[in-house]
Amino acid sequence: MDREGKVYTEALTLDYPSVYQISRAANSSEVHVVFAVIERAKALYDALSKQVELSSTVLIEEDSSNIVDLIISQTSKITTTYDMVATGYPEEDMEVTLTARCPKGNGSTCAGLVLGNSGVITVSIKLKRCPPSDKPKKTMFTIHPRDNAKINATIAVNFLCTCQCEEPEVSSARCSGRGTLECGTCACEGGFFGANCSCNMDSEQSNEKCITDSSGAVCSGRGSCVCGKCLCDQFEESGSTHSYCSETLCSESDFSCGPTKDNLCYNHGDCRCGNCTCHPTRTGKFCNCPTATERCYPSGSGDMCSGRGRCECNTCVCDRKDDNFWFFGDTCQYCKDCGDFCTGEYSLMPCLQCEWFNKYKNFKVKETNKEQYCKSRKCHLVTNYTIVTREYINELKDKSSCKATDDTGKCEKEFWYVLLNETAYEVYYIDEDAACTDDNKISEFKLRGYINNPSETNELYKDPVAKMQNPLYGGTASNEL
């Protein structure tokens, strides 16, 4: 600017930065760019914001009266992700592991940080070997985000490769009286082992009890065997420390239940050592099944899965006897090759006994039997009961007939059925009363003398023998017929 601060004097010397230069400079400095513009310029800056990483566009009032609110709101939306690394340490001598505990992320990645949040980075150092004598016994290294070494922490490490030990203590109490304590470690006597010499090889308390499979891995490779029992390792999950389960030889944890770690037991139960304890309304290995069974019953009434299967996860699993005979359908209501429909387990006769209940005068069905007849397995497959004429029956093709008997055993009524397909049938019958054999009426007829002495007891009686003369007959034989 000139001395008065009114005119830009470097217009011919310097050029405006390109969009790429703006984006690179902002990203390298971790600057979040906010374009605060008025309404008529917003579309232009929206397009620009797409080209500049970590930038956004907001509307500002003509008089800039909302500038403070915009700054506060945009600052609160800024989130940061750091992939933490350790550098500068002798990898041949030591191993460094970083574990992030943050709102999001896993391993060494700390994500989801917003203004006011904090994360914790745990540094674990494992000594691989003592440095050679010609190398220093001290070192330093730094931890920092992978792409920004300016934000860092320095850690100093001293290698303690030797220590001054106390005098050896024979039969030390810290070694259960079965070993010598030297430099804080028990040297156990023959036959004993363990950190405190508390385990006896002769008592079968050995590593064999801690091996789960043919691979020979002790405690599933996730722990150590102490006196025949697994002491399992710990691990970080969901922001807290957990350990594998000793009762499963460290093979499972409270995060081992399916289907995924983010959906343990389908959120319908509690996971303990790989096993789900389901809430009262759920069942199944991963609590994925409801305990309800209403969908396993035929509509209206009937047995569960029509008595032809079992109910699992509120769904029928139908019985199957062989490749030629099985049940199917939502409630196992359909049958493949169920056999004779006039007799047997899948007879259609109970269906007609239900249909004709008190419908025909001579066809008697007991009230106590009606419900049983109406629940017959085969009745679910009948699509229609149709009243027809004798002429219709005569013309009906592919029909089969049966006779249903009432509960008295003396009256029967014929019906016909047509197999539409392997899962449906139509039933036809004629609208007329049943044909009955009434032994009581015959007995009464005999008792009243209608058969033995009809002429004496029945005023309407007429002699059935007729006499007539045959004019063509020339003999002398009797003319009685």
Mean pLDDT score of the chain: 77
Which pLDDT score is estimated for 457? 47
For the domain covering 295-336, report its CATH number: 2.10.25.10
* pLDDT for residue 336 is more than 70: no
Q: How far is CA 45 from CA 33, 34, 331, 460, in A?
A: 12, 10, 62, 119
Q: What token pair was written down for 60?
A: 């500002």
What pLDDT, in 10s, does the model give residues 276-293? Answer: 889 888 888 888 888 888
Domain extents in the chain: 19-77, 80-158, 254-289, 295-336, 379-481
Is 295-336 the same fold as 80-158?
Answer: no
Residue whose C-alpha is closest to residue 407's, from 446, 447, 372, 449: 372
Amino acid identity, residue 104?
K
Task: Specify the pLDDT at position 142.
Answer: 92
Residue 447 banded pLDDT, cuts 50, 70, 90: very low
Can you tell me the distance from the alpha carbon of 102 to that of 96, in angstroms, rounded to the nearest whole number? 19
Best CA proximity match to 354, nearest among 398, 392, 385: 385
Domain 80-158 has CATH 2.60.40.1510: yes
The answer to whether 399 and 390 have CB atoms below 8 angstroms apart is no
Give the Cα separation of 84 and 148 in Å (integer). Answer: 10
pLDDT above 70 coverage of the chain, percent: 79
**Pick from 341, 344, 411, 410: nearest CA to 382:** 341
The two most distant CA atoms of the chain are separated, in Å, by: 172
Cβ contacts of 79 within 8 Å, gap of 6 or more:
111, 112, 113, 114
Non-local (6+) Cβ contacts of 81 within 8 A are: 105, 109, 110, 111, 112, 113
Percent of the chain with pLDDT over 90: 2
Q: What is the token pair recorded at 165?
A: 């030990």
Say if residue 224 is exposed, middle or buried (CB neighbours under 10 Å; 0-12, 13-18, 19+): middle
Which structure tokens are listed for 233? 């390792």
- The CATH number that domain 254-289 falls under is 2.10.25.10
**Residues counted in the chain:** 481
C-alpha 355, offset from chain centre: 43
pTM, full prediction: 0.31
466 pLDDT higher than 70: no
pLDDT digits (tens, 9 = 90+) for 382-397: 778 888 888 898 888 8
Range 79-106 average pLDDT = 84
The answer to which of 27-36, 67-76, 460-469 has the lowest mean pLDDT is: 460-469
